[in-house]
Amino acid sequence: MPNSTGQEILQEAGQPLVQMHDVDIMNGDTLILSNVNITINKGEFVYLLGKVGSGKSSIIKTLIAELPLRKGSAEVAGFNLWKIKRGKIPFLRRKIGVVFQDFQLLMDRSVEDNLLFVLEATGWKKRKEMVARVMEVLGMVGLKTKAHKMPHQLSGGEQQRVAIARALLNNPPVILADEPTGNLDEDTASDIMNLFTGIHAEQQPAVLMVTHNRELYKRYPGRVLICEDGGVREMEQEIDFEI
In a domain, 222, yes or no: yes
In a domain, 52, yes or no: yes
**Judgement on whether residues 157 and 176 belong to the same structural domain of the protein:** no
Contact predicate 55/102, CB 8 Å: no
- E-strand spans in the chain? 16-27, 30-41, 45-50, 71-76, 79-80, 96-100, 174-178, 206-210, 223-228, 231-234
**Judgement on whether residues 155 and 225 belong to the same structural domain of the protein:** no
Among 3-7, 33-37, 182-186, 205-209, whose mean pLDDT is lowest? 3-7
**Judgement on whether residues 167 and 181 belong to the same structural domain of the protein:** no
Q: Taking residues 29-38, what's their average pLDDT?
A: 94
Q: What is the CATH number of the domain that holds 202?
A: 3.40.50.300
**Judgement on whether residues 20 and 89 belong to the same structural domain of the protein:** yes
Q: Domain ends where: 171, 199, 214?
A: 171
The answer, yes or no, to whether residue 190 has pLDDT greater than 50, is yes
Q: Domain ends where: 171, 187, 218?
A: 171
Q: Which of 2-6, 90-94, 213-217 has the highest mean pLDDT?
A: 90-94
In a domain, 183, yes or no: yes
Distance in angstroms between the alpha carbons of the first and the last residue of the chain: 41
If one compares 170 and 6, the residue with the highest pLDDT of the two is 170
**Judgement on whether residues 35 and 73 belong to the same structural domain of the protein:** yes
Q: How many domains does the chain have?
A: 2
The answer, yes or no, to whether residue 238 has pLDDT greater than 60, is no
Cα 211–20–118 angle (5° rounding)? 60
In a domain, 208, yes or no: yes
- Does residue 223 sit in helix, strand or coil? strand
Contact predicate 204/29, CB 8 Å: no
| Predicted pLDDT of residue 52 | 85
User: Which structural domain range is residue 132 located in?
Assistant: 108-171
**Judgement on whether residues 77 and 117 belong to the same structural domain of the protein:** no
Among 106, 178, 109, 114, residue whose Cα is nearest residue 141: 114
Measured distance CA(79)–CA(75) in Å, rounded = 5
Burial (CB < 10 A; 0-12, 13-18, 19+), residue 125, is exposed
pLDDT in tens, 129-185: 999 999 999 999 999 999 999 999 999 999 989 999 999 999 999 999 998 888 888
**Judgement on whether residues 179 and 162 belong to the same structural domain of the protein:** no
Q: Taking residues 108-133, what's their average pLDDT?
A: 93
In a domain, 8, yes or no: no
| Predicted pLDDT of residue 84 | 93
**pTM as predicted:** 0.85
**Judgement on whether residues 79 and 183 belong to the same structural domain of the protein:** yes
In a domain, 2, yes or no: no
| Predicted pLDDT of residue 14 | 57
**Judgement on whether residues 58 and 153 belong to the same structural domain of the protein:** no
Q: Domain ends where: 124, 145, 171?
A: 171
In a domain, 102, yes or no: no
How confident is residue 28, by pLDDT bands cut at 50, 70 and 90?
Answer: confident
In a domain, 157, yes or no: yes
**Judgement on whether residues 84 and 186 belong to the same structural domain of the protein:** yes
The answer, yes or no, to whether residue 96 has pLDDT greater than 90, is yes
**Judgement on whether residues 163 and 177 belong to the same structural domain of the protein:** no
